[in-house]
Structure 1
Amino acid sequence: MMMSGLMLLLLQVSWAKIDSTKYLQPTQSHMKEARIIIQILDYLHYRDVDLNDSLSSVIFDNYLEALDGNKNYFLASDIKSFEKYRFSLDDDLKRGNLVPAFYIFNIYKNRVESRLKYALANTGYEFDFSKNEIFHFDRSDMPYAKTEAELDELWRKTLKNQALNLKLSGSDNAKIAEVLKTRYERFKSNVEKYNSNDVFEIFMNSVTESFDPHTNYYTPLNAEDFEMQSKKSLEGIGATLQQDNDYTKIVELRPGGPAFLSGQVNKDDRVVGVAQGADGEMIDVIGWRSDEVAGQIRGPKGTLVRLELLPAGASPGAETKVVSLVRDKINLDDARAKSQVVQLTENGEKFTLGIITVPDFYLNADEMADNPDNYTSTTNDVKRLIKELQAEGVDGVMLDLRNNGGGALFEAINLSGLFIPEGPVVQVKYPQNRKEVMDDENPELFYDGPLNVMINRFSASASEIFAGAIQDYKRGIIVGEQSYGKGTVQNVRGLNDFIRGAEDEELGLIKFTIAKFYRVTGSSTQHRGVTPDIEFPSLYSAEDFGESSQPSALPWDKIEAANYKPMNYVNDAMIAALKRQHQKRLKEEQTLVDLQFDIQELQKNRKRTEVSLNYEVRKKEQEDLDKRRASQVKIGASLTELEANKVKDRSLDDIKDPYLKESIRLLADQIQAAKRKG
């Protein structure tokens, strides 16, 4: 009866624009899953929002953005014809009616196939690169093409730009034609592999992400991958990949993995090429499925893979970078906290400082259950490292939380407890305004010496809870960049859990937001995260990276402050003095002057939306870029730079990472300021 109703709906939709023998259709399982997901979002999601016409409009826009965000395929007339669904998707979802979503996708698939046919017919065309033409590679704010002729012109310039990129890298006309033909044949093959599960996942994520960006749906196949990625026993580079239109995007970096440890790969970078070994040919992977790209990246432990990456935030056609990584097995031990001792002289005074890198908030629950007094965790490892550093006679300790995306909340609380006395660390608010204050219950202060904490734009969640507690208690100085601003808590459930007698039916998985974090001051970490006491020059703006870059992110708000007592190890006068010293070095020290220049240049380049299609113009731009790169300070150096050198004690001059170097100097300044205060 259900399937006959579906067929009736199909008959009511005009399929005139596509080949009816090729269109994809929703299954009964999809319709069932859609209804379950809507009920979960309605009853269990933190955000109290009705699935109504207003949210339907957001879902509609999300879906079009997911399919054709750069406006390379749809015609303006297609979009106009879809408008009839803008305010009805909410009612359709409640009934499990997915026909409109599949109808839109089938039109999209037809348009993509048409564009690929055009591209393949013109891959051998020899372009005139002496003309002064401009290619707009970022079309997100431009209108949809009105005619097929307009799309043809757009794709002519797309092909010309790709051909020019290959020419600039040394390819001749024959090689250019070969590469483009291979690229688009692969692209065509991937489009032909689209199935109804792919369509359902894309559409349902347009639905879930209208509630908030951390609520996601996974098909049964991708649910298996998700669960596998959650286990730290992978072999490769330690990155989770996801399809993003024609690209494969890096959505997560595993602490301890080669990509994470390199310091050169970031979340939301897109993989555009993969090469094997130091001399292997760079294979173009634009248009490949993410699982195929993953297959190219995976390989035996100890072997080299080179990735060509389109940096996070950069538009298609912008400059790429090549990163070399040695594949390795990723496990918990590789992601554990590590320490190093650094020697320096500041203002005529010698210092011995301990640096602890914390890449993740980890906890081995099985070991904890077997032996509560001795198990692997961030807190236990940091305690051990602090003891070792104290045995070395360090004058102060710095915790490096850069790129630490979070982990176990329990560990964020326990780690805070090493540095603050008994008291609240974080507040959690659930639906129906139910609140919980989570305390450090250990009255002992494990370490009471000088402390600073370094964060960056990719320090998130549990990292923000820890850094926020240290700042609110006035226990230490926070340095670096504004953190990510993820102040939400997620739960992961299989859809089978919500259906009686569904053991034999394989359904997908949903991750959804159930609560929000708040600092002891009552301020949410959502959006705002943690603002450092001493802010460093940053390549990443809040508008383009982090929670604030997500339109559906939950808002910042504030609740009543918890009952806590600041320790006042630092005060406004000390912070002001450190800021003055930091600002002085920014103006006078050449490494920091160069760093600021490089950041400005990279930010300027990131804002570009177009490039010249003239060979001489682009060649000069490339030569200028190569000169800048030759003298460029390394931005975002490895978090494990300290451990790369086997010497136990290092001097400040051995450190090449300008952020780490400045943080260490600020710790020395902090120690001197504390002495003057005392």
Structure 2
Amino acid sequence: MRLKSLPRFALLATAFTLAASLCTAAVEVVSPLQPTAVQAQTAKMIVKQLEQEHYVNLKLDDNTSAMLLDAFIKTLDPGKVFFLQSDINEFQRLRSQLDDELKKGELSGGFAIYNRYHKRLTERLQKTIGELPAMVRNFDFTEDEELELDRENSPWPANAKAADDLWRKQIKNRVLSLKLTGKEEKDTLELLLKRYSNQLSRVEQSTSEDVFQYYMNALSSVYDPHTDYFSPRISENFQINMSLKLEGIGAVLQSDDEYTKVVRLVPAGPADKNGQLHPADRIIAVAEGKNGEFKDVIGWRLDDVVDLIRGPKGTHVRLQVIPAESQSEEVRKTITIERNEVKLEEQSAQKEMIQVYRDGRVVKVGVISIPAFYLDFEALRRGDPDFRSSTRDTQRLLNELLADGAEGIIIDLRDNGGGSLAEANALTGLFIESGPTVQIRFANAWVKREGKRRSSDYYDGPLAVLINRMSASASEIFAGAIQDYQRGVVIGNQSFGKGTVQSISPLQHGQLKITESKFYRVSGESTQHNGVIPDIEFPAIYDKELVGESTLDNALPWDTIAPVYHHTYFDIESEIPRLRKEHRKRVSDDPDFRFLSEQLEQMDEFRNVKTLSLNEEVRRKQRDDRRKLQLKLENKRRIAKGLEPLTKLDADEEEEETASVDDNGEEKDKAEEPDPMLVEASHILVDSMAVFSKPQVAKANR
């Protein structure tokens, strides 16, 4: 007989018996956490909304229950270091049961799993704190041991002995990493004891609210990575972030195993201006002010790390960061950032003029950089005729550039994470006479089309759009429309691939952010997952194996719907082979592009490393070889540009402050040396200008 066909009282009895059994072990959990009545009611509301309102028609059944079990276990123990195989075997009894529980607001299965995790983690930290002095003292770094870096497909520890050995190797790696940064043994021991003691203290302060947050987010992640449950506290932080009133560094963060990882930087925010923090970097320590003591934040809750980084504008915060491409803690940098508010005027579109020398004359190319698709809703509601918007600002800058002699225009959407859909449509309208710009498909299969409904004046000259991996959402709608209309050349890197739309629904307890629709281009292709593929690709600064929709679990797939009638303006497609050929010939001698390509090859090698040596001599040689290669590549670039070669890189000073400062001791923004990507995009646009002199006559596509 299947469990879900049992009478309700039998089902409850089974659930409570299993919950009790999962919480029983050699070291008794003093107070297993239990769900509250309001959490039970909220769980039922979440289930109902997910089934009825989410874009994916996914019912909560035995298959979903199995996915939830796997997602929740992965949420708690992604590195497979705390649970034992025996725990995982025991949890399988819940595999087809969690759906039945949740529909009735029962949370016992999820709480039972968490309480077992809590027990394993508490035991592990207590044991580590007690044994750490002897472990650190007795580590032999001449042995040829290796630590597996990615354990996603590895088995769970078969028993306590196997778990002990895995944990020992992880600690040995951390001790070796710190040793390679120059830390003395006593300082290493002090740091690690403090780290594990802080982790233990935070674990012991866990509440039922934490468990509910983890469990509901595991459930929502089964549907897609952008559907989230926000507890009341997280809801408050979300509202602060959305209002852009947060006084901090302007970075979106997430938990990644024991680390706090940078997801993206807010355009024109303090971290973005500073130029040293990047997506996929991991923050390992935070210090208040320029001279404050660092607090190690490995293993901290995300909201606690956010609280530590947040602070009044004008104050400074220092971050110790492991760069995205680094595999271990010995490669780190220290960044000083001045906190500030992110202001609308600082996120506004900006212009510049680039001069391209071609055939004995200077061709002026106007560039409009748009960091976000913004709209001052408050001023618009007030009826202010001068309200700010990305489209209005772009139109003004476009007219100014044309008046100054620009013969072509580049719209720079690099690092533009999106914003107002209405603005993406309006901006497209500056470059087409009329027509649809995006299709929005809802869960019930109804398709809504947005675009420019009335013909009006538009810029019809040479146009290019520059994108990169961090160009997302509204940026992808604009770039996709320009490409589909063959209105301009799209240059850069494959974009992020976020082609879904979310809405916020209030709950009895917290909020639910739920994916309700999906974006499609006028060609019928989704922008989801695959993003926009540029006509001409540049070397990628961001590693697409670490950044982008395709890296997220349960990301919705790329697909197509029927195309919508639209004109094409120029025959750009037929010219792409020629433009690529001229681009490749030009950049083969460009030191900046060669440097980027060589760096990418080096990053690929690092990414393919599956294990990390725990032998000190091997690790020192690997580190030194890497630094020599980086210095060689940088000096090769500098010599080709007529610059003095360096004797060492900043990264060679692991604990040195790396924030850029001017002669007056003030922090500088990003370097103002010519942007090689923008310069090359200007050359490509000039190469393509002949195409724009031959408009197509109302050629239609369906």
Q: Could you tell me the TM-score, scaled by structure 2's length? A: 0.87
Matched, 1:215 2:233: no
TM-aligned CA distance change 1:673 to 1:475, over 3 Å: closer
Question: How many angstroms apart in 1 are the aligned matches of 2:367 and 2:290?
Answer: 33
Matched, 1:460 2:472: yes
Shift in Å, 1:673: 5.7
What is the aligned partner in structure 2 of residue 526 from structure 1?
A: 528
What is the aligned partner in structure 2 of residue 640 from structure 1?
A: none
Shift in Å, 1:567: 1.1
Shift in Å, 1:291: 2.8
SS at match of 2:593: helix
SS at match of 1:514: strand
TM-aligned CA distance change 1:72 to 1:349, over 3 Å: farther
Question: How many angstroms apart in 1 are the aligned matches of 2:195 and 2:362?
Answer: 58
SS at match of 2:688: helix
Cα deviation digits, residues 417-470 of structure 1 (max 9, x gap)? 001111111111112211111121342233222111111111111110000011
Shift in Å, 1:277: 5.2
Q: Is the 8 A contact 2:61 2:99 kept in 1?
A: yes
Shift in Å, 1:626: 2.5
Shift in Å, 1:495: 0.9
Q: Is the 8 A contact 1:119 1:159 kept in 2?
A: no
Shift in Å, 1:656: 4.3
Cα deviation digits, residues 519-541 of structure 1 (max 9, x gap)? 11111111221110001122556
Q: Is the 8 A contact 1:138 1:315 kept in 2?
A: no
Larger mean CA deviation between 51-60 and 297-306 belongs to: 297-306
TM-aligned CA distance change 1:607 to 1:281, over 3 Å: farther
What is the aligned partner in structure 1 of residue 90 from structure 2?
A: 81
What is the aligned partner in structure 1 of residue 247 from structure 2?
A: 235
Q: Is the 8 A contact 2:29 2:119 kept in 1?
A: no
Runs of 5+ unmatched residues, structure 2:
1-7, 638-661, 663-670, 697-702
Cα deviation digits, residues 22-58 of structure 1 (max 9, x gap)? 2111111111011000000111111112211111111
What is the aligned partner in structure 2 of residue 16 from structure 1?
A: 24
Q: Aligned match of 2:566 in 560, 564, 567? A: 564
What is the aligned partner in structure 2 of residue 61 from structure 1?
A: 70
Q: Is the 8 A contact 2:486 2:573 kept in 1?
A: no
What is the aligned partner in structure 2 of residue 51 from structure 1?
A: 60
Shift in Å, 1:365: 1.5
Amino acid at match of 2:523: T
What is the aligned partner in structure 2 of residue 579 from structure 1?
A: 580
Q: Is the 8 A contact 1:246 1:286 kept in 2?
A: yes
Q: Is the 8 A contact 2:374 2:423 kept in 1?
A: yes
* 1:274-313 equivalent positions in 2, closer than 5 A: 274-276=286-288, 282-312=294-324
TM-aligned CA distance change 1:240 to 1:586, over 3 Å: same
Shift in Å, 1:471: 0.6
SS at match of 1:424: strand
Q: Aligned match of 1:552 in 551, 554, 563? A: 554
Matched, 1:259 2:261: no
* 1:501-520 equivalent positions in 2, closer than 5 A: 507-520=509-522
Q: Is the 8 A contact 2:441 2:447 kept in 1?
A: yes
What is the aligned partner in structure 2 of residue 669 from structure 1?
A: 687
Amino acid at match of 1:260: D
Number of residue pairs the alignment of both structures matches: 649
Larger mean CA deviation between 297-306 and 283-292 belongs to: 297-306
Shift in Å, 1:281: 5.3
TM-aligned CA distance change 1:255 to 1:589, over 3 Å: closer
Q: Aligned match of 1:487 in 499, 510, 516? A: 499
Question: How many angstroms apart in 1 are the aligned matches of 2:632 and 2:290?
Answer: 23
Question: How many angstroms apart in 2 are the aligned matches of 1:110 and 1:316?
Answer: 28
Shift in Å, 1:612: 1.3
Shift in Å, 1:59: 0.9
Q: CA RMSD in A?
A: 2.7
Question: How many angstroms apart in 1 are the aligned matches of 2:598 and 2:325?
Answer: 19
TM-aligned CA distance change 1:446 to 1:677, over 3 Å: closer
Q: Aligned match of 1:101 in 89, 106, 110? A: 110
Shift in Å, 1:270: 2.5
Question: How many angstroms apart in 1 are the aligned matches of 2:190 and 2:217?
Answer: 36
Cα deviation digits, residues 341-377 of structure 1 (max 9, x gap)? 2223245431222221111111111211233743111
Q: Is the 8 A contact 1:417 1:442 kept in 2?
A: no
Amino acid at match of 1:120: I
SS at match of 1:428: strand
Amino acid at match of 1:594: F
* 1:73-472 equivalent positions in 2, closer than 5 A: 73-124=82-133, 125-126=136-137, 127-276=139-288, 282-312=294-324, 319-371=331-383, 373-472=385-484
Question: How many angstroms apart in 2 are the aligned matches of 1:178 and 1:444?
Answer: 69
Q: Is the 8 A contact 2:414 2:467 kept in 1?
A: yes
Shift in Å, 1:295: 3.2
Question: How many angstroms apart in 2 are the aligned matches of 1:630 and 1:326?
Answer: 29
What is the aligned partner in structure 2 of residue 501 from structure 1?
A: none
Amino acid at match of 1:612: S
Percent identity between matched residues is: 40
SS at match of 1:250: strand
Shift in Å, 1:261: 3.3
Larger mean CA deviation between 603-612 and 204-213 belongs to: 603-612
Amino acid at match of 2:16: L
What is the aligned partner in structure 2 of residue 606 from structure 1?
A: 607
SS at match of 1:588: coil
Question: How many angstroms apart in 2 are the aligned matches of 1:579 and 1:233?
Answer: 44
Question: How many angstroms apart in 1 are the aligned matches of 2:222 and 2:686?
Answer: 47
Amino acid at match of 1:105: Y
Amino acid at match of 1:16: T
Question: How many angstroms apart in 2 are the aligned matches of 1:537 and 1:271?
Answer: 26
Question: How many angstroms apart in 2 are the aligned matches of 1:239 and 1:523?
Answer: 31
SS at match of 2:143: coil
Shift in Å, 1:513: 0.9
SS at match of 1:209: helix
Amino acid at match of 1:572: E
SS at match of 1:671: coil
SS at match of 1:490: strand
Shift in Å, 1:249: 2.7
TM-aligned CA distance change 1:135 to 1:348, over 3 Å: farther
Question: How many angstroms apart in 1 are the aligned matches of 2:291 and 2:690?
Answer: 51
Question: How many angstroms apart in 2 are the aligned matches of 1:622 and 1:279?
Answer: 29
Amino acid at match of 2:470: F
TM-aligned CA distance change 1:344 to 1:122, over 3 Å: farther
SS at match of 1:528: coil
Amino acid at match of 1:123: L
SS at match of 1:271: strand
Q: Is the 8 A contact 1:401 1:459 kept in 2?
A: yes
Q: Is the 8 A contact 2:181 2:330 kept in 1?
A: no
SS at match of 2:198: helix
Question: How many angstroms apart in 1 are the aligned matches of 2:630 and 2:204?
Answer: 41
Q: Is the 8 A contact 2:325 2:606 kept in 1?
A: no
Q: Is the 8 A contact 1:585 1:592 kept in 2?
A: no
Q: Is the 8 A contact 2:436 2:450 kept in 1?
A: yes
Question: How many angstroms apart in 2 are the aligned matches of 1:361 and 1:265?
Answer: 22
Q: Is the 8 A contact 2:354 2:679 kept in 1?
A: no
Question: How many angstroms apart in 2 are the aligned matches of 1:183 and 1:347?
Answer: 63
Cα deviation digits, residues 499-557 of structure 1 (max 9, x gap)? xxxxxxxx110000111111111111112211100011225565553222234122222
Shift in Å, 1:323: 3.8
Runs of 5+ unmatched residues, structure 1:
497-506, 635-643, 645-652
Question: How many angstroms apart in 2 are the aligned matches of 1:583 and 1:552?
Answer: 37
TM-aligned CA distance change 1:231 to 1:104, over 3 Å: same
